[in-house]
A and B are shown apart, each in its own frame.
Chain A
Amino acid sequence: MRRLKLLLATGLLFCVQILWAQVQVTGKVTDQKDGSPLAGVTVTVKNNNRSAVTGAEGTYSISAPDNGTLVFSFVGYATLERPVGSVVNVALAAGENAMTEVVVTGYTSQTRRASTGSIARVKADEVRLQPVASFEQQLQGKSAGVLIQSGSGQPGSAANVIIRGKGSVLGSTQPLYIVDGIQISAADFQSLNPSDFESYNILKDAVSTSQYGSRGANGVIVITTKKGTANKTRLTYDYQYGIGELPENKLKLMNAAEKIAFEMSADGIYGTNPNGWSDEEADSLSKVNGNWAGAMFRKAKTQQHQISLTGGSERTRFFVSGSAFDQEGVVTATGLKRYTGRINLDHSVNDFRLGLNAFVGSSRLENTTESNTGIGSPLNAIRWHLPYVTPYLPDGSYNDADMAIQGQPNALKELLENPRTNRQLKGLAAFNLEYRAPFLQGLTAKTNLGVDFTDNTIQRYVSPTTYLGSQQTGGQGSFAQSNNRNRRFSVTNSLGYRKTTGDHAFGINLFNELIQNRFTSFGFTGYGLAGAFRNAAGIIPGTPTNGFIPTVNGNETTSALLSYFAIGDYNYKGKYFLNGTVRRDGASKLAEGKKWTTFGSIGGSWVISSEDFMKNSLFNDLKLKVGYGSAANSNVGNDYEALELFGPTSYNGVGGLVLTNLAKPNLTWEIRNMFNAGIDFGLLKNRVNGTFEVYNSVTNGLYLNRQISGTSGTTSILTNMGRMRNRGIEATITAAIFKGKGFNWTLSANHTYNQNRILELDGQPENIDGLFINRVGESQNSLYVVRFARVDPQTGESIYLTKDGKETKTYDPNDRVIAGRTDPPHFGGVTNTFGYKGFELGVLFTYMFGNKVYNNDRTNVENPGYYYSSVAESLQRAWTKAGDITDVPGLMDEYHPETTRYVEDGKFLRLRNVMLSYALPANVAGKIKASTVRFFIQGQNLYTWHNVLAYDPEVPSGNLLGAQYPPLKTWTFGATVGF
């Protein structure tokens, strides 16, 4: 088949051999900026259907009538016309307006003008100075349709990224990440250096994502890294230093005096004075300031050095960079250190071009547990410690008094004595080879070989002196180390042909791809840590009597994806564009007979502004586009989900087998069918640019855990059982509001509305899972709780509402109703940039509204059963006697936290980033032989307006479990010097 196409293409060439008298023109096309040769530039003869394409050295040869005109066009560059001569060398200038911007889909690249899909592009340089270790955090608020929730301020933690609404309930909703053509895992972002990146291309609709077939349903973020430029070697050095601190805590707890007064008057299940303080004790304790937050949190420093070197000759170009990043966590003893190196090299020889992009990063992360409800978690412990207990005794040793009073282990001791370290070594390498056939212009063959390698060493020391240590086997601490390795190997081969004849231009690319993934892990836990060592050396050898027998564990899992696909494009007169993709994926994960799935898309666009009737219009750019297609989400369950599996178990020290996975012969992908339509426009000579888009995407075969009768031996099973829709509107607008001599002001804003609806659950009306419900006609994972109405002023009991809205004092789970959606329907960002001479001020606000958060963290400090422990200030308002009008029930009221009392409004407005920078005038910079010198001061997350009783309102899961490690408020200062 493929051979046939090749022959057809060859045939075309012969058909266009034309028999006029001609001049043979030769020449070379270069980049105006750095003089490097441009390969792949289309050279056409005006008003004629003849064309040529430049080779690797930028050279071309074409025969043309001697009075003709040559047209040079290339994606991302302004089109140029030159009269025919014997030698015509031209230098193309990179295009500057939105339409000539190049968008990259990973397998192909196009100008925005030619693109028919929905692709947002963020230049890495706009955001790279933000003081976060994980690059995707920097994209917050930058593009419509892309929801980025920080969730955690722990150094190195990745954000939750959702493109155009959650397309899955059980499967991953994270997009696919591609760097230089190879897939990388979101878990490893801590080891990457965002300063190496050139651009982020966010593929949002099927016209772009169907190219990724079974991996594309959640959208794709395609990252390109910086390339070398042929010119004189340039060196750039960046330095930045920052200080981060905790945002305001809105969940206020009682201080010592308040707590003692409360205990002495409270009438809970253990009566008044549950901790049994004498009057003298109560008096002295009420004067103590435990100040756990003061002992546990700190002002956290961030430092970063980054150096890069670029240069090369016409044939060989390079980009080399190195960086060091050191970020302290705001929680004492946490932090991330990272060192990275990169080399991007490319070389052209004859008809070949070869390149190698290689990266290595090494990071060391010291973290603490978060997002859980354990008493051993230091971030919970600081909320649960009695305010009149201090972290340390006067002699500087840990104060364990709270363990005796209420069984609460000392948070500082748990944190400092039980270090948790993750070391990661990350390697990325992509080798590519391109061949441009000299005998058939426009024909290319490419191979891209990539490896994504991650090696993790995770160490957990649990000191025998801590509570966690007492919980270990043998009760004397433990030391655990696990090593895991993930290797993803991919090979992509392609054959492409591009041709322009007269008003018609088309391109076709055929691909074959194989991606193999192998994960292996091995770990051990040793018990009985008696000695001075905080590592494996401290483990006491286990014997049958001392109870310290170590445990070992390991895992190995593999997957493979084999694909064939074709991507084609066509345009007529550069005004009417068509794009199409067909991809067939075979996956190891699916059951026999279901392994192969076909995906596809088609998109069209019309550049109205190029029509004659638009000549004198307000619009200098106006484009209409529409597209439809499919992609799937393969990221659910384990690698062998479809097979019936028996796994290992043990009883009485003997190994046994247990059925761990029912056979799922019908399991297929969740397939998302996406429709997209939009307008791109530029007004007033591109002073105002914007995009409006609408989309409708329907996930078919939605994965849900079908609740099955427990009599089957299993209670739920992963099933393709539903349909879910996301539809929405996106608006992006950039306007040069004021363009003066010295002063200019640019506004850029985006807003997204996304409506999520479950359409079908395989005949069932709903699927309830704890606090959440998936119900037909409602948003996925909606909160499902009983409505709390008020407190009975006579008895202090909670009054709930029944399903029908009648008041009742009986809590009944049958009265649960939907209390709000957890994913935000509205979100966006607004950037204002002001420039004056060398000064630039950028201010970014991000916001979201329409979602609800369940505050489980609050339920723990408002539980009247814990009134002897640390509790919220609000319990001071608890009902005590008949006639009290209050919103907090009496302490003897039966406590049911799964009510609307703990459902809070998740809306917020965040001053995400403010950056003031100043560039020295060129003549001043020149005095130190520098080409650019820039200083900046930056504030990140400076303030957030919100009503969630917590540190931060962003809770991606919709349930704020506890132990929140919020995103930090950070100030940084820095400088960039280029030579």
Chain B
Amino acid sequence: MRHMKLKNKLFGLLALSLLAVSCKKELELKDPQFLSPQDAVANDANIKKVLLGAYDAISSGNLYGGNLQLFADLMGSDGELSWVGTFNTYREVWGKSLLTTNPNVSGMWGAGYNAINIVNSVLANIGKVNTADQNRVKGEALFIRGAMHFELVRFYAKDYTDGNPATNPGIPVVKTPTNSTDEITKPSRNSVQDVYNAVIADLTEAENLLPLENGVYATKSAAAAILSRVYLQKADYAGARDAANRGIQNAKNKGLLANFMDNFNQSTNTPEDIFAIQVSDQDGTNNLQLFYSVSIFGARDGDVEVNQKHLNLYQAGDERATVTDDPDLPDFNTAFYFKFGAFRTTKFRDLYTNVKVVRLAELYLTRAEANYRLGTTVGATPLNDVNLIRRRAGLGNLAAITSVDQIYLERRRELAFEGFGIHDAKRFKRTIDGLPWNDNKLVFPIPFRELNANSSLTQNPGY
């Protein structure tokens, strides 16, 4: 019996030792490829990497990677462009027949706020950035936040000058980051005026904080340039003039290129680029190339065609209107080519090239327009600024400017397909494809999924 008991105990011990797989640390696993927030926004180096992630976010095809520009021109095409591609969701933008479920419409909204959320994380942790770099990092974050709120309010709300901006609903202004499910909110739409005020505050502070030169990232001049667009859109011409003027003066080591077409199909920034999205064969999206160019250049099938109506805008001898039948010529340097039965712009012909956000030429034209409207000559006379752009295009000087429409026409020629279409058309109160400038169809709907997920939002009229 004694023997048995001993054996029993031994066996019990054996069994217990077998059952000893209980180390709790087996369950404390960390993802080797990802950082937790404690690490990601903990120090200078990582916060700067998060900021870089914000640039990546605004380079999305939904944003400056192409759709912000493409949609402005498709919606404002007025017969100058045709969408012939098979993607219905893009066709809806061109046809002004947007459905609230259009995935590109919800994609742009989501991508915009995604970028805003990232920079809000950076701003919330700005104190951890090295003192020497704090101004720059904060300035870049504010630049992105201001630019994104501005782009969204232009598409998703009535124009500033349409009715009362203090009561017209704009978009939600978001200034705090969401990092956990506990922090999710359902903000309502701020008024158009509130959004513009927030945008102006962000961009003004950004302009103050940013350096003159900053590689391919945001600079003082870039912030001023976007600010000039904001003022122009709200018809604050003095603000637009001064911001454009500062943008020109602070554009360090920048200048107009001698040859207009040298601006395009570049995989590095040119001296004329105030701000551009970097695209290389390794990284980045260029939706303008994807949809304006054709399959032989690695794009889709030429979804956007340029119509004769657009070519009629140009005068004889304009280098911005040259057309070739043979885009394969090695010294090819024309503004348009004819391929697959239609005219195509050459601006976005090649794969893996940067996407323009602001070129210096825009600032001259903005300064000219604002000076002309105010009867001032801050920086230069309107005539000088306009002629600077005309001479570069191989055209003769104008003798005088007798109407703001002359400056607008120059703007349409110079900045064609670069994202000004519908926004400028609203400023000049033009009728677009038979619709008055303030027609409900010229405003994007608030995406269906956003209304569904956020009960505080209201839909735009007409949807």
Q: Which of A's residues lie within 8 Å of B, judged by CB?
A: 2-3, 6-7, 10, 407, 437, 439-440, 445, 447, 470-471, 473-475, 491, 493, 495, 510, 512-514, 516, 547, 549, 551, 555-560, 562, 564, 586-588, 595, 638-640, 643-666, 706-715, 717, 719, 768, 811-814, 863, 865-866, 894-895
Complex Cα distance A658/B122, Å? 11
Taking the closest CB of chain B, its distance from the CB of A816, in whole angstroms, is 9
Most B CB contacts (10 A, CB to CB) among A595, A710, A865 go to A710
Partner of A556, one of B4, B33, B216: B33
Q: Is B316 an interface residue (CB 8 A)?
A: no
Q: Is B399 an interface residue (CB 8 A)?
A: no
Whether A652 and B118, one on each chain, are in contact in the complex, defined by CB atoms closer than 8 angstroms, is no
Whether B26 and A514, one on each chain, are in contact in the complex, defined by CB atoms closer than 8 angstroms, is yes
Given known A2-B16, A6-B15, A651-B53, contact A813–B179 (CB-CB < 8 A): no
| Chain B residue, CB-CB nearest to A433 | B18
| Chain B residue, CB-CB nearest to A551 | B282
Complex Cα distance A514/B116, Å? 43
Contact residues of B between 412 and 462, Cβ < 8 Å to A: 447-450, 452-454, 457
| Chain A residue, CB-CB nearest to B182 | A665
Taking the closest CB of chain B, its distance from the CB of A475, in whole angstroms, is 6
Taking the closest CB of chain A, its distance from the CB of B106, in whole angstroms, is 7
| Chain B residue, CB-CB nearest to A403 | B295
Q: Is B7 an interface residue (CB 8 A)?
A: yes
Complex Cα distance A459/B463, Å? 49
Whether B51 and A516, one on each chain, are in contact in the complex, defined by CB atoms closer than 8 angstroms, is no
The 11 sampled A-B contact pairs (Cβ below 8 Å) are A440-B8, A447-B18, A493-B18, A556-B32, A557-B33, A658-B57, A659-B53, A660-B34, A665-B182, A713-B177, A894-B97
A638 — which chain B residues lie within 8 A by C-beta? Answer: 31
B30 — which chain A residues lie within 8 A by C-beta? Answer: 640, 643
Interface stretch of the complex, out of B183-191, B205-213, B227-235 = B183-191
Q: Is B100 an interface residue (CB 8 A)?
A: yes
Given known A514-B26, A560-B27, A709-B186, contact A657–B172 (CB-CB < 8 A): no
Partner of B27, one of A562, A646, A659: A562
Whether B117 and A713, one on each chain, are in contact in the complex, defined by CB atoms closer than 8 angstroms, is yes
Given known A560-B26, A562-B26, A588-B26, contact A710–B453 (CB-CB < 8 A): yes
Most A CB contacts (10 A, CB to CB) among B4, B41, B52 go to B52
Whether B36 and A865, one on each chain, are in contact in the complex, defined by CB atoms closer than 8 angstroms, is no
Taking the closest CB of chain A, its distance from the CB of B182, in whole angstroms, is 7
Closest 6 pairs (CB-CB, A-B): A713-B117, A656-B52, A709-B454, A646-B40, A645-B34, A658-B53
A447 — which chain B residues lie within 8 A by C-beta? Answer: 18
A814 — which chain B residues lie within 8 A by C-beta? Answer: 100
Whether A659 and B21, one on each chain, are in contact in the complex, defined by CB atoms closer than 8 angstroms, is no
| Chain B residue, CB-CB nearest to A643 | B36
Taking the closest CB of chain A, its distance from the CB of B303, in whole angstroms, is 11
B181 — which chain A residues lie within 8 A by C-beta? Answer: 662-666, 717, 719
| Chain A residue, CB-CB nearest to B50 | A657
Complex Cα distance A586/B181, Å? 23
Taking the closest CB of chain A, its distance from the CB of B408, in whole angstroms, is 32
Whether B118 and A516, one on each chain, are in contact in the complex, defined by CB atoms closer than 8 angstroms, is no
Whether A439 and B4, one on each chain, are in contact in the complex, defined by CB atoms closer than 8 angstroms, is yes
Partner of B453, one of A439, A665, A709, A811: A709
Whether B55 and A711, one on each chain, are in contact in the complex, defined by CB atoms closer than 8 angstroms, is no
Whether A644 and B36, one on each chain, are in contact in the complex, defined by CB atoms closer than 8 angstroms, is yes
B55 — which chain A residues lie within 8 A by C-beta? Answer: 651-652, 656
B15 — which chain A residues lie within 8 A by C-beta? Answer: 2, 6, 445, 495
Q: Which of B's residues lie within 8 Å of A, judged by CB?
A: 4, 7-8, 11-12, 14-16, 18-19, 21-22, 24, 26-37, 39-41, 46, 49-53, 55-57, 59, 86, 88, 97, 99-101, 106, 109-110, 113-114, 116-118, 120-121, 172, 174, 177-187, 216, 278, 280-284, 295, 298, 301, 351-352, 447-450, 452-454, 457
Whether A588 and B29, one on each chain, are in contact in the complex, defined by CB atoms closer than 8 angstroms, is yes
Taking the closest CB of chain A, its distance from the CB of B305, in whole angstroms, is 12
Complex Cα distance A19/B26, Å? 52
A495 — which chain B residues lie within 8 A by C-beta? Answer: 15, 19
Whether B100 and A813, one on each chain, are in contact in the complex, defined by CB atoms closer than 8 angstroms, is yes
Whether B53 and A649, one on each chain, are in contact in the complex, defined by CB atoms closer than 8 angstroms, is yes
Given known A2-B16, A644-B180, A658-B57, contact A708–B453 (CB-CB < 8 A): yes
A643 — which chain B residues lie within 8 A by C-beta? Answer: 30-31, 34, 36
Whether B117 and A560, one on each chain, are in contact in the complex, defined by CB atoms closer than 8 angstroms, is no
A2 — which chain B residues lie within 8 A by C-beta? Answer: 15-16, 19
Most A CB contacts (10 A, CB to CB) among B53, B120, B177, B278 go to B53
Given known A656-B49, A659-B179, A662-B181, contact A651–B278 (CB-CB < 8 A): yes
A768 — which chain B residues lie within 8 A by C-beta? Answer: 449, 452
Complex Cα distance A560/B97, Å? 52
Taking the closest CB of chain B, its distance from the CB of A550, in whole angstroms, is 10
| Chain B residue, CB-CB nearest to A438 | B7
Complex Cα distance A578/B88, Å? 62
Whether A707 and B179, one on each chain, are in contact in the complex, defined by CB atoms closer than 8 angstroms, is no
Whether B184 and A407, one on each chain, are in contact in the complex, defined by CB atoms closer than 8 angstroms, is no
Whether B37 and A644, one on each chain, are in contact in the complex, defined by CB atoms closer than 8 angstroms, is yes
Taking the closest CB of chain B, its distance from the CB of A866, in whole angstroms, is 7
Whether A491 and B33, one on each chain, are in contact in the complex, defined by CB atoms closer than 8 angstroms, is no
Taking the closest CB of chain A, its distance from the CB of B461, in whole angstroms, is 15
Partner of A895, one of B8, B56, B88, B113: B88
Taking the closest CB of chain B, its distance from the CB of A316, in whole angstroms, is 25
Given known A551-B282, A711-B113, A712-B178, contact A657–B40 (CB-CB < 8 A): yes
Taking the closest CB of chain B, its distance from the CB of A353, in whole angstroms, is 16
Given known A6-B12, A713-B178, contact A649–B453 (CB-CB < 8 A): no
Complex Cα distance A657/B21, Å? 37
Taking the closest CB of chain A, its distance from the CB of B156, in whole angstroms, is 11
B186 — which chain A residues lie within 8 A by C-beta? Answer: 709
Whether B50 and A658, one on each chain, are in contact in the complex, defined by CB atoms closer than 8 angstroms, is yes
B351 — which chain A residues lie within 8 A by C-beta? Answer: 475
Whether B118 and A658, one on each chain, are in contact in the complex, defined by CB atoms closer than 8 angstroms, is yes
Whether A710 and B109, one on each chain, are in contact in the complex, defined by CB atoms closer than 8 angstroms, is yes
Q: A3-B12, A652-B55, A709-B185 are in contact. List 5 more A-B contacts (CB 8 A).
A: A562-B21, A647-B33, A652-B52, A713-B118, A768-B449
B281 — which chain A residues lie within 8 A by C-beta? Answer: 473-474, 547, 549
